[in-house]
């Protein structure tokens, strides 16, 4: 029996929802959250004008073991790219539109979550 998995998932949901609100305040439009296919997941799919934006949300309580953005491994990048390709297959309307991968790095701040938005993070 696994214990402790509900709390991190619940925290993840809270951080993803807050990240989505933050990006909407920056002008992006939400399309979908938690797109899952073949073992891969994209936290948020958003639109920035005509550009489709795949967003990876990362949270760390502290930078003791690296920043949230530094926690994205090469393997995670490959999974994100593969899952994005599956998204484009599932939703052909986006196939000929520009796409990018953004990262939202979230940390606890004095008045709630603090966000660092890294646009085109995998370029």
Q: Locate the domains of the chain by residue range.
A: 6-118
In DSSP terms, 105 is beta-bridged to 58, 116
Tokens of 82: 């593969």
Cα angle 63, 69, 70; round to 5:
70
Say if CB 44 and CB 28 are below 8 A apart.
no
- Topology of domain 6-118, per CATH? Trna Endonuclease; Chain: A, domain 1 (3.40.1350)
Whether the pLDDT of residue 98 is over 80: the answer is yes
Give residue 38's pLDDT band: very low, low, confident or very high (50, 70, 90).
confident
Helix (H) or strand (E) holding 15: helix 6-25
CA geometry: angle at 24 spanning 21 and 26, to 5°? 115
pLDDT at 11: 62
Q: Tell me: the pLDDT tens digits for 1-11?
A: 334 455 556 56
Rounded to whole angstroms, how far apart are CA atoms 2 and 108?
26
**Host H or E run for residue 114:** strand 112-118
State percent of the chain over pLDDT 90: 57
pTM here? 0.86
HSE toward the beta carbon, residue 56, CA cutoff 13 A: 26
């Amino acid at each position: 029996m696994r214990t402790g998995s509900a709390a991190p998932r619940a925290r993840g949901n809270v951080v993803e929802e807050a990240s989505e609100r933050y990006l909407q305040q920056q002008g992006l439009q939400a399309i979908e959250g938690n797109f899952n296919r073949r073992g891969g997941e994209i936290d948020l799919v958003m639109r920035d004008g005509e550009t489709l934006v795949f967003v990876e949300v990362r949270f760390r309580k502290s930078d003791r073991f690296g920043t949230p953005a530094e926690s994205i491994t090469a393997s995670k990048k490959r999974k994100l790219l593969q899952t994005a390709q599956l998204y484009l297959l599932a939703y052909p309307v986006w196939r000929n539109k520009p796409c990018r991968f953004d990262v939202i790095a979230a940390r606890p701040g004095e008045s709630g979550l603090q966000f660092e938005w890294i646009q085109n993070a995998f370029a």
